[in-house]
């Protein structure tokens, strides 16, 4: 089995590229989806997040209000680091368990682990290859503003609290430029897939 970490900045097109890999037959594990699970009441990270940020982040059902939490942490690098420290170990443990299940079923599988903070968390050391998805900052802002409820100050604050894409590029085994057409992005993804598949042969 080969595990490739897929990362990049906000609104760079990670999800689009991940879907393209899935269409090619890869197993895709989304850290963001696992993050939702581990922060639910009773989840592995729920108590740690509530202890770190207080019950003011809870909704009427005592679930963590992710939008409220995001608005807080993306204004503060310190709070963002606290959130990542509380959540990411549980996320990676859930991902690791899923990887083990996949390997048992399909020993020559190609697994794509999609994680926005793959590098920042240090888990890039635990994957076989690193794929960085990148596009110009102007394109990131344009795409991010298309999301429901997005505002320019919130988007800029979030971008400014992320590792610069230029820095992430230095970790990349593969770089997929999503600044062009969808067809160009898919073509690049197919090229990377062929090389990953070659490595599993």
* Domain spans of the chain, in order of start: 2-200
Predicted pLDDT at 64:
96
The H-or-E segment that residue 46 falls in is helix 46-53
User: What is the per-residue pLDDT across 19-48, written as a single tens digit (0 to 9) for each?
Assistant: 999 999 999 999 999 999 999 999 999 999
User: What is the per-residue pLDDT across 102-114, written as a single tens digit (0 to 9) for each?
Assistant: 999 999 999 999 9
Q: What is the CATH number of domain 2-200?
A: 3.40.50.300
CA distances to 68, 82, 115, 173 from 93, rounded to whole Å, are 25, 18, 13, 24
The predicted model scores a pTM of 0.91
Predicted pLDDT at 166:
85
Percentages helix, strand, coil for the chain (3-state, rounded to 5) are: 55, 15, 30
Token couple for 70: 């995001």
């Amino acid at each position: 089995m080969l595990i490739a970490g897929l990362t990049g900045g906000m609104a760079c097109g990670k999800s689009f590229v991940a879907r393209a890999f899935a269409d090619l037959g890869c197993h895709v594990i989304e850290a963001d989806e696992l993050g939702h699970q581990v922060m639910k009441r009773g989840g592995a990270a729920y108590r740690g997040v509530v202890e770190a940020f207080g019950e003011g982040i809870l909704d009427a059902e005592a679930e963590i209000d992710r939008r409220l939490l995001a608005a807080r942490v993306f204004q503060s690098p310190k709070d963002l680091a606290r959130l990542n420290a509380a959540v990411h170990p549980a996320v990676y443990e859930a991902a690791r368990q899923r990887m083990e299940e996949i390997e048992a079923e399909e020993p020559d599988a190609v697994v794509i682990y999609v994680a926005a903070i793959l590098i920042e968390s240090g888990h890039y050391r635990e994957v076989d290859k690193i794929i960085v998805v990148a596009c110009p900052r102007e394109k990131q802002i344009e795409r991010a503003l298309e999301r429901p409820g997005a505002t320019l100050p919130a988007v800029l604050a979030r971008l400014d609290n992320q590792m610069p894409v230029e820095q992430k590029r230095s970790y990349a085994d593969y770089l997929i430029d999503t600044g062009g057409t969808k067809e160009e992005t898919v073509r690049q993804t197919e090229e990377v897939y062929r090389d990953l598949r070659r490595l599993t042969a």
